A and B are shown apart, each in its own frame.
Chain A
């Protein structure tokens, strides 16, 4: 807070609602005027937070690794080098540069598996967050707009889901649907859902009382237009923050499910199931345990750093 009070030009940026609200009511007037300045303002806030920038850089790096996995990875993630099982990392005694981070019990190159695993983890994160966000926003908007019995029904259901520990709920869903990567994604989407519903509903209730919504309503906007065009754009900040943090939850929970044997099934190079496979070799070959966990930690850390930075930059009110 010190740097904020020290800077006298801080107050205008703490009220991002006004320019956006104006742009929303009359987008045809001058949309080009409001957008770039708010983007630059956001980047100014975001880049002040070194951790956030580091997180963003890591996320970008991970995305690149995931996209170009086929070219970066030295070997196929499922090719078994039978003559080189449990080879230690290259800088250890007995390691070779052919397998930089060593091989697992079946002689598969750990580095290549990790690189391909990043693809899976980001994919899981992306799909479950998108699913959850889309459904959550719709449910939240419905609850916030319709109120009454719909709201009570939706919110009580969300309360029930929130009462269950997240991993337990995910396990319950997987127990119904059966283990597997796709079902794990559904399970995680369901686990994340209540957060988005609550955020969207709270934001909608906060926004509907404002004058620009009344203005839009008087101007003849129908309920759907009011929901998605007028109110939703003004509720995006907390949702974006939550979605970023949701990525880290999704990746962590997917790895946990994989570890418990309920997520991705072998030979899929998923980080959590790689750890589970490594369990019995923990005493002989510690590297098979070290690397997948480190990959999970770094990825989750990157998304958490980025999410924290986004929260501070997008929504000063959320800053704790």
Chain B
């Protein structure tokens, strides 16, 4: 983990003072003074240990634009991203898994080709464009969903959990939950498209492999129904690579969240990070990337542990 932090920090800073001075540059004395002020004239390893020490104490620095602590901003915005990502994930698993199973079971039929064709297209989709198309169709043409934000302005829902769906439901205001949901649906569809395609593809190939196994034939031979063989015998074993892939999607979701949040003006960490980059707000960029990397690594660890739960062979192996 320290190695991770070390590499990240060496990857990111550059020279903020030089960037701050812009294209016109600044006088050498002022440059030196600023360097000193930010502690950037000290040896690299001193800066590094200083930063790591602060990170360990939970201090990611202060934003150069809002002058708020980076960690505080992150924590305030993170639930919005999690809500979006979770919803997108649920959507993509709920559709991708059955679609993949269907394609595998009905191999080389129209259904298979349709699922594979759609998922390959989804996999190749530039989601920022896809999001725009969704807005164009559902918001502009049909007027069904709002274009941006998390909830209509007339609702003033107290932020208890930060998850607006829960907060809106708790507030008991009529229409608040509905408004929050209608704001959530389009970004989730846009964000969930690529994971959906990946999950469908992975489920299909994994199922195809498992369906060839002897135990599947044995189960069929001893009279277990086709549906039960598919769901209980085959799917459970086919799920391991699928879970790996789902775990890997977390990183992809956070990546996609940057684009999706920008397009839908979703007040999450992705949007915040892009603004940080555009404003050259280095503490924000550095801290935000560090936090996201830590989260992705943690999730991957949890996914590793999940294998054992799904497959006893790994647990006892």
Residues of A within 8 A of B (CB): 1-2, 51, 156-157, 160, 163-168, 171-178, 248, 252, 255-256, 259-262, 272, 275, 279, 282-283, 286, 289-290, 292-294, 296-297, 300-301, 304-305, 308, 320
Q: Kindly state the separation between the CA atoms of A145 and B8 in the bound complex, as whole angstroms.
A: 27
Cβ 8 A contact of B121, one of A171, A275, A301? A301
Q: Which 9 A-B pairs have the closest CB atoms?
A: A293-B129, A165-B255, A167-B255, A300-B124, A165-B251, A301-B124, A320-B205, A176-B14, A296-B126
B3 and A297: CB pair below 8 A?
A: no
A157 and B7: CB pair below 8 A?
A: yes
B297 and A163: CB pair below 8 A?
A: yes
A1 and B208: CB pair below 8 A?
A: yes
Contacts of B293 in A (CB 8 A): 160, 163-164
Q: Kindly state the separation between the CA atoms of A286 and B251 in the bound complex, as whole angstroms.
A: 31
Q: A255-B128, A300-B126, A320-B209 are in contact. List 9 more A-B contacts (CB 8 A).
A: A165-B254, A166-B255, A167-B255, A171-B277, A175-B12, A176-B12, A261-B278, A279-B132, A320-B206
Cβ 8 A contact of B289, one of A164, A262, A320? A164
The reply on B273 being an interface residue by CB < 8 A is yes
B132 and A275: CB pair below 8 A?
A: yes
Contacts of A178 in B (CB 8 A): 19
Q: Kindly state the separation between the CA atoms of A294 and B262 in the bound complex, as whole angstroms.
A: 20
Contacts of B289 in A (CB 8 A): 164, 168, 172
Cβ 8 A contact of A256, one of B8, B14, B126, B212? B126
Q: Mask for B1-38, Cβ within 8 A of A = 1, else 0?
A: 00110011001111000010000000000000000000
Contacts of A176 in B (CB 8 A): 11-14
A248 and B124: CB pair below 8 A?
A: yes
A171 and B129: CB pair below 8 A?
A: no
Q: Kindly state the separation between the CA atoms of A255 and B132 in the bound complex, as whole angstroms.
A: 14
Q: Is the interface of A mostly helix, strand, loop or mixed?
A: helix
CB nearest to B263 among chain A residues: A279
The reply on B292 being an interface residue by CB < 8 A is yes
Offer 6 A-B interface pairs, CB within 8 angstroms, sorted by A. A2-B108, A175-B14, A177-B14, A256-B128, A282-B135, A289-B132
In the assembled complex, the CB of A145 is this many whole angstroms from the nearest CB of chain B, namely 23
A165 and B140: CB pair below 8 A?
A: no
Q: Kindly state the separation between the CA atoms of A232 and B225 in the bound complex, as whole angstroms.
A: 50
The reply on B123 being an interface residue by CB < 8 A is yes
A260 and B12: CB pair below 8 A?
A: no
The reply on B125 being an interface residue by CB < 8 A is yes
Q: Which of B197-215 contact A (CB under 8 A)?
A: 202, 205-206, 208-209, 212
Q: Kindly state the separation between the CA atoms of A283 and B14 in the bound complex, as whole angstroms.
A: 40
B258 and A275: CB pair below 8 A?
A: no
Residues of B within 8 A of A (CB): 3-4, 7-8, 11-14, 19, 107-108, 120-121, 123-126, 128-130, 132-133, 135-136, 140, 202, 205-206, 208-209, 212, 251-252, 254-256, 258-259, 262, 273-274, 277-278, 280, 282, 285, 289, 292-293, 296-297, 300
Q: Kindly state the separation between the CA atoms of A259 and B128 in the bound complex, as whole angstroms.
A: 8
B8 and A160: CB pair below 8 A?
A: yes
Q: Kindly state the separation between the CA atoms of A259 and B260 in the bound complex, as whole angstroms.
A: 12
B296 and A165: CB pair below 8 A?
A: yes
Q: Kindly state the separation between the CA atoms of A279 and B181 in the bound complex, as whole angstroms.
A: 24
Contacts of B135 in A (CB 8 A): 282
A289 and B129: CB pair below 8 A?
A: yes
Q: Kindly state the separation between the CA atoms of A306 and B262 in the bound complex, as whole angstroms.
A: 31
CB nearest to B257 among chain A residues: A165
B277 and A304: CB pair below 8 A?
A: no
B120 and A301: CB pair below 8 A?
A: yes
In the assembled complex, the CB of B206 is this many whole angstroms from the nearest CB of chain A, namely 8
Q: Kindly state the separation between the CA atoms of A179 and B14 in the bound complex, as whole angstroms.
A: 14
Cβ 8 A contact of A168, one of B255, B262, B278? B255
Contacts of A304 in B (CB 8 A): 120, 123-124
Q: Kindly state the separation between the CA atoms of A107 and B282 in the bound complex, as whole angstroms.
A: 38
Contacts of B128 in A (CB 8 A): 255-256, 259, 272, 275
Q: Kindly state the separation between the CA atoms of A51 and B259 in the bound complex, as whole angstroms.
A: 29
A165 and B125: CB pair below 8 A?
A: no
Contacts of A163 in B (CB 8 A): 4, 251, 293, 296-297, 300
A293 and B108: CB pair below 8 A?
A: no
Contacts of B13 in A (CB 8 A): 176
Q: Known: A165-B255, A167-B255, A168-B289. Is A174-B124 also a contact (CB below 8 A)? A: no
B125 and A297: CB pair below 8 A?
A: yes
Q: Kindly state the separation between the CA atoms of A151 and B128 in the bound complex, as whole angstroms.
A: 38
Contacts of B208 in A (CB 8 A): 1
B121 and A297: CB pair below 8 A?
A: yes
Contacts of B292 in A (CB 8 A): 164-165, 168
CB nearest to A276 among chain B residues: B128
A297 and B124: CB pair below 8 A?
A: yes
In the assembled complex, the CB of A142 is this many whole angstroms from the nearest CB of chain B, namely 18
A168 and B254: CB pair below 8 A?
A: yes
In the assembled complex, the CB of B200 is this many whole angstroms from the nearest CB of chain A, namely 13
B296 and A174: CB pair below 8 A?
A: no
CB nearest to A255 among chain B residues: B126
In the assembled complex, the CB of B8 is this many whole angstroms from the nearest CB of chain A, namely 7
Contacts of A290 in B (CB 8 A): 133
Cβ 8 A contact of B251, one of A160, A164, A261, A300? A164
Q: Kindly state the separation between the CA atoms of A164 and B136 in the bound complex, as whole angstroms.
A: 32
Q: Kindly state the separation between the CA atoms of A199 and B125 in the bound complex, as whole angstroms.
A: 26
B126 and A175: CB pair below 8 A?
A: no
A172 and B212: CB pair below 8 A?
A: no
Contacts of A272 in B (CB 8 A): 126, 128
CB nearest to B281 among chain A residues: A175
A160 and B129: CB pair below 8 A?
A: no
